[in-house]
Structure 1
Amino acid sequence: MIIATGSVNIDENTKLAEQAGADNEEALKDLKTSMDGKITISTQAPFNDGVDHADGDLWLIQSDNVTTAMYTYGAGGWSEKQWDQETLNVKELSALSANLGTINAGILNSVEIDSSTIKSANLTEDYTSGGVHRQLWIDYNGFHYRNTDSSGGQNDVKMNDYTGMYISRSGGGTDSGYNGHTSIEGNDISTGNVNADGVLSNSVGTTTVNTSHLNMNLSTINSYTGSFYFEGGEGGSGEPGADVHAASFNKMSQLSVKRNIQDVTGDYALAQILGTDVKRYDYRLSDNSQQTNIGPIIDDENKIGSKKYDISSDMINSQSDGVSIDNEVGLLMAAVKELTKRNSDLQLRVTQLESEVKA
C-alpha cells in the first residue's frame, strides 16, 4: 500500500528523468567514439602503414617502453601533440636530453652545469658561512671576489682589462694595522709586501721584498725612490744592513749620464781622508759569528760640535744614514795619486841632493 503524504508533480519528475537519460546517452556516445580510435605504437614517426586512419587515432613513438612523442590524426593527416606546461606535474627528471632552444626561467638551481659557453650580464653569489661574509660577482667590469670576517677585515681579488689582477687585504679589529695590496699587470708585479719562499718574475716593483730566495731572470730593476735597502729582519725594521754577496759590482760611469763634472784636487782628497776617523766596530744586534767591521762612523747621536767621531761630509750619503762607498773610494784614489806625486817629487829631490853631495 502506498500512502501519499503530500502532492507530487509526476509530469515534472518524468521530464527530468528523460533529460538525464538523454545526457547520459550523449556522454556514452562521445566515450564510444574515443574508445573506437586506433592507437598505433612504433619506433618511427607516422608513415603510410597501409591502415585507414580516422580522426582521433593516436600514433605513439616508443623506445624501450618510453614514449618520446605522440601524434593525433585529423583532417587527413598527423600532427604532433603539444603539452601545455600547466598540465605537467613532474616530480623528478632523471635525464633530459633535448634541443631546447631558448629557456626563460626565474631561478635555476643546479648542482653542476657542464657547458661549452656560459653567457651572462651579471653572475653573483652572496652568503655567510663560519662567520665570514663571502661575495662573488662577475659583470662587464670583470671578476671580483671579497670575503669579510667578523672583525671587519677584508680580502679582495679583482681582475679586469684595465688593472689586470688586483689583490688587497685590509685589516679589521685587532688586525687593523695589517694592510697591503698586490697588482699584477702584464709582466709587472707591484706590491707593498712580498713574503714568499721563492719569487720568480720578469719584473718586480715593490716597497719591501721579504723572501728566503729571490730569483729574477731580468736585466733591469727600477726603484721609484732611487735607493735599495738590504736590512736584517722585516722591511723598515731599522736593523743593521744585511751582507750582500756577489761576484762583482759595476758602477754606471758613462760620460753621457753625468753632469756638473768638477776636479777634485789631491790636497782636498788627502785632507778628507786624514780628517776621517777609522775605527773597528761591531753592530749592536750582531753576534760573534759575524765579521768585525773597519771603517768610518757617522755620529748620529751627538750634536755638531760634540761629535765623538769625525767623517768627511763627502762620504755620507744623502739620507745621512750610510757611507757612500763610491765617494770613499774616489777620495782614496785622489789621495793615493797625491801621495804618489809627492813621493815622486821627494825621490827626485833626494836624487838631486845625492848628486850634489857626490860632486
Structure 2
Amino acid sequence: MGALRLAVIGAFPFPLSQGSQLYVRDQLGALQQLGTEITLFCYGTGEGNAPEELDIVRVPRGLSPSVLRTGPALGKPLADAALSGALLAAHRRRPFDVALAHNGEAALAALLARSAGGLPVVYVAHTLIEHELPTFCPPLLGPVARAAGRTLDSTIAGRVDAIIALCRDAGKALEPRARGPVTVIAPGLDPAASPERARVDQVCRRFGLVRGRFALYTGNVDGYQGLDLLAEAAQLAPDIAWVVATHGKHRFEAAGVSCVRTTPEEARALGFGCGAALLPRRCPGGYPIKLLNYMEAARPIVAFEGIADGLEHDRSAWLLPPEAGPTAFAEAVRTLQGEPERADRIGAAARSHLESHHGWHDLAVRTLRFCGDASRKAGNGVRLLR
C-alpha cells in the first residue's frame, strides 16, 4: 500500500479490554498488514499482553495514572506531557510522516510536539468532548463541563491538520470548526468463528440465564454508557431478565438488573445467546465498539438514533428517538422478545451491515490514504502506492 511511518499517540493504558484500546489495537494491526511502519506512544500501564509485532514507547509507569478507567484523572496532565516529550524525542531521532492521535488528550500532546518538531497531526475523534465530559461530573457542574468540552472540541479541531471522525454526527459537528479536511471512518471488526451452541448454552447456564430470554449490555459501567436508563427500564419490565456483563472491577448495582463479571470470551458467548443487545448510551459523537460485537452476534440491537450510526430502524436495529425514555426502551425489548422472527431478521441484517461496511482492510486503506494526504499537504512528500 505505501511507505508511511506513523506515530500513533494513545493517552491511555495499553493494552486494555476496553473499547478505545481494542479499536486502536485492531486498527494498527490492519495498518501494519498494509506495510505501515508504526510506533505507539502510550501510558506505562495496562492489562494483558500487547501485540508482539507492535513497537511501543511507554511513559514511565511512575508518571502514568494508576487509574485504568476512562475519564479525567489527576495524573493525566503529567503523563500527557511525558507522551509529548517522548514523541518529540523519537521524531527528532528519526522523523515520522504523520502523527495519528487517538482522542482529545492525545491530540493535545501531539500538537505540543508539533509546535517544536513540525509533525503533522491527524486527530481521531473518538467522541465529542462537549457531550462526554459532563458525564464524569456531578450534575451541578454539567453546564461548566459542557462549555469546557465545547471549547476543547473547537480548539483541537482548529489546530490539527486533519480529522477522522468515527460517526457522521461527529463529522458534521467538527467540520465547521476544522482548519483541515474531515472524514468519517468507523471502526472495524472482521467476524471470527461463532462460538459453539453448546458453549453459549454453558455460559448462559453459568449465570442463570436461558438462551434468547435475556436482554444484555456488555462493557464498562462508566457514566456515559447510560446504564441508569437501563435500570429504570428494568423497573418497568420486571418480567424481562436484564443483564449487565462487565470485565472490569467496577459493578453496576440496580434493582432488577443482574450484573455479572465475565471474561471477554464469556461476554461474547452471552452476546450470541441474548434475546436483545442493549445500547442505552445517549452521548453522541462516538462509535461504541460494543455495537460491532452486537452486530457480529446477529442479535437485535436496541439503541437511540444517532448512536448506532449506519443502522436503520426495524431493518438492522430497533432505534428509539433521542427523547425516548425508559418506557420506550423497555417496550422495544419486550417487542423483540415477543416476536422472535422479527428479532432474527433484524439481527441478521445487522450482521450483514457489519460484513459489508466494517471490514478492516478497506477501512485501513482509507485511513492510510487520508493520513498520507495530510502528510503531503504538510510538505512531507510521502509516497503512497494507489
**Normalised by the size of structure 1, how large is the TM-score?**
0.18
Query: Higher RCO, 1 or 2 (CA under 8 Å, sep at least 6)?
Result: 2
Structure showing the higher strand proportion among its residues: 1
Pick the structure with greater CA Rg. 1
Structure showing the higher helix proportion among its residues: 2
